[in-house]
Amino acid sequence: MKASDESQVNQKINLKLYRSSSRDVVTNTATEAFLTSQVSENDVILFFWQNDHSIIIGKNQNLWSVCKVDEFLSNNGTIVRRLTGGGAVYQDMGGLEFFSHK
């Protein structure tokens, strides 16, 4: 083990655990973005939440090519765009979502 590796082993890690009581996808997506901006070098963040009937799309996705937008919205769905890339994700109360950041 190199000296630089030893210093990383001896660092104190701060585990920060959060659980949202909101089922609103806009609130939970904004909370995830806020927590990401607040993490420091020694923090590990774990955030749990559930959303009502919603679709979250990546920052570079074309909404109209990945979703049946009008049909989804007419069924009281909510669509939001996250700050990161990746595919479209359907969420509802049947799933537990989580986010971790180091």
Predicted structure pTM score: 0.79
Share of the chain above pLDDT 90, in %: 57
Q: What is the mean pLDDT of residues 33-46?
A: 88
More confident residue, 5 or 13: 13
- DSSP codes, 51-94: -SSEEEE-TT--HHHHS-HHHHHHTT-EEEE-SS----EEE-TT
* Cβ atoms of residues 74 and 53 within 8 Å: no
Residue 90 scores a pLDDT above 90: yes
Over residues 13-37, the pLDDT tens digits come to 889 999 999 999 999 999 999 998 8
- DSSP codes, 17-62: EEE-----HHHHHHHHHHHHHH--TTEEEEEEE--SSEEEE-TT--
* All domains in the chain, ordered by first residue: 14-101 (3.30.930.10)
